[in-house]
Structure 1
Amino acid sequence: MHALDDADLDLVAALQLAPRAPLNVVADVLGTSASTISRRMQRLREERLMRVISTVHWPLFLSGNPYVVWIRCEPGKVGEVAAAVRGVPEAQSILVTTGDADIHCTIYPLAGTDQRKLLTKTLPGIPGVASVQSHLVLRIARRAVSWRIDRLTDEQADVLGAYASPADADVGALTDAEFQTLRLLFDDGRVSAAEVARSLDVSRSTAHRLLQSLLDRGAARPRVEIEPAVLGHPITALLTFDVRPRHIPAALAALGAHRSGRLTVMTAGPASIIHHGVFRDEDDLATFVTDDVGKLDGVSGFTMCVALGVLRRQWIDRDHDVLLGQRRHEILGRQHRQTGH
């Protein structure tokens, strides 16, 4: 088990709130030195446990809203099917699950993707696939970038909050230089102006303006990529809810505000709402179901399964569920650039 000590956990909590905060600020907040913070970050990167990346504003690289997809496999074929799904560039996350379906994935239609072909031919045509069910995301109440561990005091959070990225996006169209900078931020949420200047062969002041423009407008939202299991939340539960229409907004808001949430969406499919949550243990999950779900009005039924294995999140493949690998697909190719809203 890849256990982190208290100082590691404090560092992760600080970076989850302010991924681009200067090292000296993080050090002051945590009562240590910038050199110590730097060494810890480097060790976590080298051990493949943590990386700072960025979430990109959807309209900049997608041709439509994502789909939540459940794949049922023929007996004994889960491994082969999962390996094939890893070869699909649109598969942003891939989990092996319990329940009626064997594989859960989120499909992001990149610019140029033939959505109908992908959902009705490509995925169902994978050898070993028995059936595919897809739910179009209509509205999102919670994203993984918002999930954090609770270790900071209010005073610490206030200091770091000054360095947090804006949650709202007002992007508009990107210039070529901005899009090239966005690609750098996508892979390294802490990329510096000096690194951007070298990569794009521009002045440092120009690089600084490019970075700030993207960050201030919400084109890129830096985030810590680390498996919740490493942070003491080894159970990933996937819940689907049947909710009467007039109760959907309140249920969506309540689930989206819950501390467990990594993805909470309203969908067009058999389920009105899908909620992905992470939990400390089985009792923590049970309490969520009986206490929090039990309070929701308008729920006529729900299903629940848990992840048996994590193969990919944020297009980053996993080894042994928790070790961060590489992005095997070019997600932000120049041809994917879209005009923002």
Structure 2
Amino acid sequence: MSLLDADDLDLVAALQHAPRAPLSLLAEALGVSASTVGRRLARLESDRLLRVIGQLDWSVSGEGHPWHVWVTAEPGGAPEVARRLAELPGTTLVAVTAGTTDVYCSVLPERRADVRDLLTRSIPATPGVRSARSELVLSATAKSDAWRLPRLTDAQIHRLSVHAAPDTPTGPPPGPAPLTDDELRTLGLLAADGRTTAAQISRRLAIGQSTAYRLTQSLLQRGLVRPRVEIEPSLLGYALEAVVALTVSPGAITDVATALSTHPSARYVSTTAGHSCVVHQGVFRDERALADFLTHDLAELPGVTSFDVSIVLEALRRHWLDRADGRLADAASARDGG
């Protein structure tokens, strides 16, 4: 897909650095008028190509951690299997793939008790599924909100970062504690639209604007919600997306995961309990870039003993957002499974 021009890409890059920045700041950083930025953003949203969502921390999006699931389908059945899996509650990402398996998905049920049924009954019993392999995510060293389109100058990044600083989490979320009703409702609004302002939250929830501001800043600074740009990588010039499951010697798992989290391709890097030790979900400009990653970058990491590659052919769902042909669904909720 090639529906974005250079100015659109610059705007996407600016939003990735400062998802909640006002139009005036985005315009200043990009050297255009605020009205121009507003029109471009409105067009991208109305064309269902881009949405700024709120990526919820695992502690509030479900019980426990996500699971990676690789599915082998009956011959010719991968697209229909993927569609059916996307309809299951708890599936956060579903993609038709080529390579090791036919469908890759990530699941994070709202309740830990639902995991057993989802992994042992619902997914294996889905018509067209021949087999399924699942692995528990233990930790994530890189999440999708950290990936950046490399288009901005250092000066532009600095200008945006300074103003976006209040929205940057200042530390890990606190220990388990019940959230208030107002916090939960505010999280819901920010998850659906990461650019929702305190004034808008005040009106929607019928609470004082100062209260809405304190709630919003508290949730952002505690890392319970992280605003992020949701857009298909192919629209940004990354024609290939791969899920690379690595087998790593036990003593090297942390070092390998940390190293991969800094790789330019990294959108989601996690350590797992299962056959794979580390899973790297990355985006690449073309086949040569993927080849360099597999034959050079991975080869230079001590401790990597083997890896399997699944190439994403079509994503039907990401972060609870359904999509088709690269466009986001008209209406969907937004949470994050990684």
**TM-score > 0.5, shorter chain as reference:** yes
Instruction: State the distance in 2 between where 1:95 and 1:264 align.
Output: 17
Distance 2:191 2:331 in 1: 11
Tell me if structure 1 keeps the 8 A contact 2:191–2:333: no
Q: C-alpha root-mean-square deviation of aligned residues, in Å?
A: 1.6
Give the corresponding residue for 2:140. 140
Quick check: 1:89–1:329 contact (8 Å CA) kept in 2?
A: no
Pick from 274, 277, 292: which aligns with 2:279? 274
- 1:169 matched to 2:169? The reply is no
Contact 1:91 1:105 in 2 (8 A): yes
Match of 1:10 in 2: 10
Equivalent residue for 1:184? Answer: 189
For residue 194 of structure 1, report the CA deviation from its aligned partner.
Answer: 2.0
Q: Partner amino acid for 1:149?
A: L
1:199 aligns to 2:204 (yes or no)? yes
One-letter amino acid of the counterpart of residue 212, structure 1 = Q
Distance of 1:298 and 1:199 partners within structure 2: 52
**Cα distance change of structure 1 residues 326 and 108 upon mapping to structure 2, 3 Å threshold:** farther
Aligned-partner Cα distance in 2 for 1:238–1:330? 22
Task: Check whether the contact 2:246–2:306 (CA below 8 A) recurs between aligned residues.
Answer: yes
How much has 1:242 moved relative to structure 2?
Answer: 1.0
Please name the residue that 2:329 is paired with: 325
Aligned residues: 331
**Residue matched to 1:230:** 235
Using the size of structure 2 for normalisation, the TM-score is 0.94
User: Any idea what SS the aligned residue of 2:52 has?
Assistant: strand
Q: Residue 45 of structure 2: SS of its match in structure 1?
A: helix
2:124 maps to what in 1?
124
- Give the match's secondary structure for 2:202: helix
* Secondary structure of residue in 2 paired with 1:197: helix
Per-residue CA deviation, residues 120-164 of structure 1 (Å, 9 max, x unaligned), is 011101111111100101121111111111111111111111214
Tell me the equivalent position of 2:90. Answer: 90
The CA deviation at 1:211 is 1.2
Shift of 1:86: 1.3
Q: Structure 1 residue 289: deviation in Å?
A: 1.4
* Distance change in 2, residues 1:36/1:6 (3 Å): same
Contact (CA 8 Å) 2:55, 2:335: kept in 1 or not? no
Aligned position for 1:241: 246
Q: 1:290 aligns with which of 271, 289, 295?
A: 295
Q: Is the 8 A contact 1:315 1:327 kept in 2?
A: no
Partner of 2:9, secondary structure, is helix
Contact 1:89 1:331 in 2 (8 A): no
C-alpha distance after superposition, 1:185-209 (max 9, x if no partner): 0000000122111211112222222
1:170 Cα deviation from its structure 2 partner = 2.7
Describe how 1:145-164 pairs up with structure 2 within 5 A. Answer: 145-162=145-162, 163-164=164-165
Report if aligned partners of 1:61, 1:111 keep a CA contact under 8 Å in 2. Answer: no
**TM superposition score normalised by structure 1:** 0.93
Which residue of structure 2 lines up, in the alignment, with residue 338 of structure 1?
Answer: none
Separation in structure 2 between the aligned mates of residue 261 and residue 79 of structure 1, nearest angstrom: 26
Residue segments in structure 2 that go unaligned for 5+ positions in a row: none
Runs of 4+ in 1 over 6 A off after TM superposition: 329-332
Which amino acid in structure 1 is aligned with residue 172 of structure 2?
A: A
Per-residue deviation at 1:175? 1.3
Query: Using the alignment, how far apart are the partners of 1:80 and 1:8 within structure 2?
Result: 33
Aligned: 1:29 with 2:29: yes
Contact map agreement 1:74 1:129 (CA 8 A) in 2: yes
- Deviation of 1:113 (Å): 4.5
CA distance in 1, matches of 2:330, 2:280: 27
CA-CA distance at 1:301 after TM superposition = 1.0
Letter in 2 for 1:305: S
Quote how far apart the aligned CAs of 1:100 are: 3.2
What is the match of residue 44 of structure 1? Answer: 44
Structure 2 letter corresponding to 1:235: L
Residue 221 of structure 2: which of 199, 216, 220 is its match? 216
Amino acid at match of 1:16: Q
CA distance in 1, matches of 2:317, 2:112: 22
